[in-house]
Amino acid sequence: MSLFRAEGLVKRFGGLLATDHVDLAVERGEIHALIGPNGAGKSTLVNLISGLLAADAGRVVLDGVDLTALAPHQRSRHGLARCFQITSVFRNDSVRDNLMLAVQAQSGSSFRCLARRDAEHALQQRAEALAQRVGLTEMLDRNAGTLPHGVQKRLDVALALASRPRLLLLDEPMAGMGPEDSAQMVALIRSLASETAILLIEHDMDAVFELADRISVLVYGKVLTSGDAAHVRGHPEVQSVYLGTEAPAPLTRRREAVR
């Protein structure tokens, strides 16, 4: 049984069918990339999966549990986490406080049975472990708002990891990054695959082909095809469709050219 299944998901915005009966499975341990041209419906699909948007039809199932009727925070308790946009970071708080808040928000009652000081200590330890996980140990006492963009993105990932997800949704984690930060993010995402499955939306094709075990191509709200990198590269419709109205270009071209 797949870890995660979206079944027949539909989302309409007025007359626009943004998500057109999408079926998608993510296996345990898998990094599954979702690619497609701008406006294909990638973010809408992630929003349907995380519960930020309600689907007009279809189901979202994680580990056999139907999450369709649940709110985002309830889905997160079942092991579904999404990487929020930068705005979810409390910019005036330290990295440590951001992480402690995230851990506390996700911990339910598990710290409540401890005495106050022990609870605080346990929260701090978990926050520090998360910082270490994403390479932010040196920056625990920095104000989150003062961190460079690439580092904030890694904090964002750490905040999502606070809920110990089984499926992590990443919507363009490399957006706006230079090559160095991108390379660090690629390494981080790869290292996460041992603890959580990942659904990765990313425009950086170098990163997608480097990371993904499987790639699904979304076009006009529909899954055009799904398969490994070789399958997607060789698919007759993918190259022209993925690049929309631009002249077809090989999907292997360098990331600078893709931007």
Spatial contact of 33 and 190, defined as CB atoms under 8 Å apart: no
Q: Would you count residue 12 as binding ligand ADP (CB under 6 A)? A: no
Cα gap 11→50, rounded to integer Å:
14
Q: Would you count residue 50 as binding ligand ADP (CB under 6 A)? A: no
Query: Smallest distance, Å, CB 40 to ligand ADP?
Result: 4
Cα gap 214→229, rounded to integer Å:
7
Q: Would you count residue 39 as binding ligand ADP (CB under 6 A)? A: yes
Spatial contact of 32 and 216, defined as CB atoms under 8 Å apart: yes
CB atoms within 10 A of CB 126: 20
Interface region with ligand ADP, contact rule CB under 6 A, candidates 31-39, 71-79, 91-99, 176-184: 31-39
Spatial contact of 83 and 46, defined as CB atoms under 8 Å apart: no
Q: Would you count residue 40 as binding ligand ADP (CB under 6 A)? A: yes
Interface region with Mg ion, contact rule CB under 5 A, candidates 35-43, 66-74, 76-84, 234-242: 35-43
Query: Smallest distance, Å, CB 175 to Mg ion?
Result: 9
Q: Would you count residue 41 as binding ligand ADP (CB under 6 A)? A: yes
Determine the 3-state secondary structure of 198 from DSSP: strand
Q: Would you count residue 52 as binding Mg ion (CB under 5 A)? A: no
Angle at 62 between CA 60 and CA 68, to 5 degrees: 30
Single-letter amino acid code for the residue at 202: E
Q: Which of 10, 17, 43, 225 binds Mg ion (CB under 5 A)?
A: 43
Query: Smallest distance, Å, CB 172 to Mg ion?
Result: 7
Q: Would you count residue 203 as binding Mg ion (CB under 5 A)? A: no
CB atoms within 10 A of CB 46: 20
Determine the 3-state secondary structure of 192 from DSSP: helix
Q: Would you count residue 94 as binding Mg ion (CB under 5 A)? A: no
Query: Binding residues for ligand ADP, per CB under 6 A?
Result: 13, 16, 18, 36, 38-44
Query: Binding residues for Mg ion, per CB under 5 A?
Result: 42-43
